[in-house]
Amino acid sequence: MTKTTRGFLFAATFCLLQLGGATASADDVTAPVEPSLEHKLKALSPKQREFLEGPGPLRLFPSRGKLVEELERRSPDEVRQLVADMMAAVAAFAYRPGEDMGAIPLNPESPQFNSFKVLKPRALDELERAPGPFSVKRYIYERGGIPTFAGAPVALTPEDLVAGAVDVAIAGIPQNMSSGKRDARNGPNAMRAMHGIADRDLYSMIDPGAVLNIVDYGDFAVDRMSLERGLDHAYDMVLDVVAAGAVPFLVGGDHSLMYPSVKAVRDVRPGEPLGVVHFGAHHNAERDGSRSAAGGAAPPPTPRRLRRLRCRRRPRFQA
């Protein structure tokens, strides 16, 4: 690969695919009530009026239009009661010190506490092999068999990446704790099952597999009882990939993966330009959500912002 191509790749840095998540509504801003509804609001207090014109009602209604429809069909007293009930409901969403559990308690006495991220010792390998990527295909033009990202060979260790002069390491991170109901943890295997995702591009006529050394670097393990511990391990694994000279191409997984991935690249290459190629519904860095990195319309975690956070000290990621 030429220096120009490698320079472009490291400028792009990595690509994060993300399954699940909803974009924030364009209505999610402060908006004055339509003049035609003023006669409906005469029973509201100033505080209730402020709430009605703020983003609070959109926690309960899908749009301003639906809210207006609800106000139009009610009397002034019914509107006052509706607003009071909405304010009580939104207030109930918040964390209550002394009543709510702020974090899931873990059992540090368990002998399996770190078992999810322990790498298999080399002595347990059934066959000895020289470092480097290896194929799991039986046929030259195989369309089935064991699926890998882009039909690429497999690499398991940083030594494999170095020995194979790997340009791009595609890895899955089946994290689901920051999206919950959307089944995002099955994203990596779903992408592996899609044939043709690395074929020749019809617009540029570039075949990625012909100009880049691409490997499937397997999945990075996550702790399904602790978002923070899973992000710590993802950070460590991305560090290894970048230190081996490969560009991490990460397939999620949920909203939380942007932060540890970008942070790891920045920590390995602090003085180099950093860019992010991101495929997802949104940038996933919301400070007022119920998790440290959740879906929303907040600005993306830019390199400058990441440098300020200085999260390498334990705990690296806080709920």
Q: Name the class of domain 3-23+130-309.
A: alpha beta
How many angstroms separate the CA atoms of 263 and 188, rounded?
Answer: 21
38 phi, psi to nearest 5 deg: -55, -40
Q: What pLDDT, on a 0 to 100 scale, did the predictor assign at position 179? A: 65
Mean pLDDT of 278-303: 51
User: pLDDT tens digits, residue range 117-176?
Assistant: 898 887 777 777 889 999 998 888 777 788 999 889 999 999 999 999 999 999 999 988
pTM: 0.63
Q: Could you give the dihedral angle defined by the CA atoms of residues 225, 226, 227 and 230, in that order, rounded to the nearest 10 degrees?
A: -100
Pairing of strands 247-252, 14-17: parallel
How many angstroms separate the CA atoms of 191 and 209, rounded?
Answer: 17
How many angstroms separate the CA atoms of 198 and 152, rounded?
Answer: 9
User: pLDDT tens digits, residue range 247-257?
Assistant: 999 998 887 88
**248 forms bridges with which residues in the sheet?**
169
Domain range summary for the chain, segments of one domain joined by +: 3-23+130-309
> Would you say residue 302 has pLDDT above 70?
no
How many angstroms separate the CA atoms of 309 and 303, rounded?
Answer: 10
Q: What pLDDT, on a 0 to 100 scale, did the predictor assign at position 206? A: 87
Mean pLDDT of the chain: 79
Query: 263 with 235: CB under 8 angstroms?
Result: yes
Mean pLDDT of 87-113: 87
10 Å Cβ neighbour count for 297? Answer: 12
Peptide linkage before 253 cis (omega within 30 of 0): yes
278 phi, psi to nearest 5 deg: -125, 120
